[in-house]
Homo-oligomer: A and B are copies of this chain.
Amino acid sequence: MKQIFTFCLLFASLFGLAQSAEKQLIEYVNPMAGTQRMGHTFPGATVPFGAVQLSPDTDTIPYAVNGKYTGRAYEYCAGYQYDDPTIVGFSHTHFSGTGHSDLGDFLIMPTTGKLQLNPGTEDNPQSGYRSRYMRESEIAEPNYYKVNLQDYDITAEFTTTTRVGFHQYTFPKNEEAHIILDLMHGIYNYDGKNVWTFVRVENDSLITGYRQTNGWARTRTVYFAMQFNKSFKNYGHKKYDDGVYKGFYRKFDEEHNFPEMAGHDLRAYFNFDVKKGEQILVKFAMSSVSTEGAMKNLNQEIPGWNFEEVKQAGQQMWNDELGRIQIESLNESDKRVFYTALYHTYLSPIIYEDVDGQYRGLDQNIHQSEDFTNYTIFSLWDTYRSLHPLFNLIQPERNRDMVKSMLAHYDQSVHPMLPVWSHYANENWCMIGYHSVSVIADAIMKGVYTDDLDQALEACVGTATYPKYDGLDYYMKLGFVPEDKNGSSVSKTLEYAYDDWCIVQIAGITEAYQTFDEFMERSKNFFNVFDAESGFMRPRLSDSTFRPEFDPLDTHGQGFIEGNAWNYGLYIPHDPERLVELMGGKAAFTAKLDTLYAMQLSDAHIANNEDITRDGIIGLYVHGNEPGHHIPYLYNWTGSPWKSQQRVRMICETMYKDAPDGLCGNDDCGQMSAWYVFSALGFYPVCPGSEDYAIGSPTVVSATVKLSKRKTLIITTENQSPENVYVQELSFNGRAIEDFTIRHSELMRGGELKFVMGAKPMK
């Protein structure tokens, strides 16, 4: 009976019939998950890896006012907070789940009644163009978002293609309607963020222009083309930057029906007479190249005005991309959590080139992607851990293109550096490490990146030996980053050592023996920050002594970034055996891990750390942030894998929910969700750059992973239940796996990975 079931599943999977015909995969996705509290996701419309991510913004808290940090911008990294009672408008670019922010370009808002160009306030929405909305009116699906704007009774609907946002506004009665284009609005705004704005009203239904900002991306320009389905009767704009030289433009009534607008800060509006039930549609295309590029994108991606067709085409893309993993689960809720997580892994990086392959590079010149699709938004300190490894499994073509995009960044950079945290042709230098090398090594080791490996190695070595970068000069001289010279020194030393090990892997493949030896040495630098006396990784000073002041619990200023010696000091992913040994052997380390999950972090310990919130904490372990994501799997190296299984299953069940507060911390461009996807399937890449996956405890009943056109990996479980969290037996294509490790290349051959589960640990 069981075998028949498996066979049917196999058969059905191969023909794409695993899901019941009546329910599409997108119906299991909840784009609202993570929009409440600190998930920092957005509920709006986008296609997989889409450049346009068109979503409601619920407030406009600036990052700083008069140079002073407001302290509230963090909540609005994605522009949307679930509990907010008003919607300011709908902007076209968003990060998914970041802990610092930018974007929110080109906010559009439809209104009626008196024209108001300021956004107004949450407390007094009538004072501006924003509107209240009712939760019940809100629908969020992949590539579709709908809401009723209560103050105007306008129904607003949104869908997208890769480069074009599509708006559909339905008006309740005969009246005058305004479509506001707020070119001052932005996420993490501050005085002076808008560097320049340029707008042309090309004719009575087409507008082009650009917005140039200085923010997290220091030198960033986004071009647009905006087309209405009907002619506006008149239009205008208001400037909010009186300091700008007016020149001989003073001759004109620039503010009314004058087709050129330019300045630092401006808001434009377009007026229409509408009838009851009439719809105004807006197509909004973007480009990094030029308004000409935006027009190309617009005309190619949405030539017509069929909103439903565009919506369905995008939703079909989602069904296809989500369908790369088809699961059966214990209950509907688990399935929703799974596909919501998978959905979140497809929101970045995003495609960053025009339909003709042109894009603006890091050097601000226009480049052509010759044999790849260019991507941007690389949150690498987060995503190297399991997002890119997940792509190597289910999106290898895209991940190969992402590697190409990172190498193009290297070629365009004035530094010999691969991206650290890059978006929109900018390096924002956020966080630490040079984890591009991990992504590249993982893609090479897994056969996903097979282009010029020597060039890839050169880029990795160039990056790892650039003395100007974040303590690397000291690291290269001393073998560690000294805390007195460069903060977060232990985190840096540990991560550099891991990254160096990744370079060793590439050097091995390319037979670059000198590099191999050199970086093999460097990969052992974690030894240099281990304090045998305290048993912790600990900051060292440039005179080689350990810094006397040391609090292994405080997550601030103790040599770790967003962490402490307890939860960030267990970081030797490339040599967990050595970690166990350093920390006193298997028994002692098991006890240490147990303690980690049992102790408590006080409020004082996590003060001044936006990225560590109570939601994501278990003991001292912080699942809501990345540096410990491998920790639950470390029991595999202490001879007590059942503890990993129990932990992983527990985290899957408590830290991910099918609800607005469904994420326990920033999704960080999909890393938090990628952790879930892997864990739900039963394995995890503890050390990217290696082929090995560590085994956890699958949450799925079964899964079919499309590896390629011809190959499929089937994951099956026996005795799966909420209680049966412990793996009793594990086999791949009938061969028992005793060491709870499975290699990527094995999985890629396809076949069945079979878990037998039970309620008792297999000690």
Contacts and interface: CB of A to CB of B under 8 A. Distances in A.
B245 A214 contact: yes
A429 interface: yes
A429 B364 contact: no
Contacts of A262: 214, 218-219
A563 to B, nearest CB: 18
A212 B196 CA distance: 10
Nearest to A67: B243
Contact of A429 (B195, B201, B251): B251
A244 interface: yes
A5 interface: no
A366 B290 contact: yes
A248 B428 contact: yes
A193 interface: yes
Main secondary structure on A side of the interface with B? loop
Nearest to A432: B251
B259 A415 contact: yes
A640 B297 CA distance: 67
A3 interface: no
A363 B202 CA distance: 10
A219 B200 CA distance: 12
A417 to B, nearest CB: 11
A202 B245 contact: no
Contacts of A195: 195-196
A49 B534 CA distance: 75
A218 B250 CA distance: 12
Highest count of chain B CB atoms <10 Å: which of A193, A219, A258, A428: A219
A4 interface: no
A252 interface: yes
A364 B210 contact: yes
Contacts of A190: 245
A219 B198 contact: yes
A258 B470 CA distance: 13
Nearest to A188: B245
A191 interface: yes
A734 interface: no
Contact of A196 (B214, B257, B421): B214
A216 interface: yes
A303 interface: no
Contact of A468 (B202, B212, B252): B252
A15 interface: no
Contact of A365 (B290, B414, B429): B290
A291 B196 contact: no
Interface in A214-254: 214-216, 218-219, 242-245, 247-249, 251-252
5 contacts: A195-B195, A196-B214, A218-B262, A251-B429, A291-B363
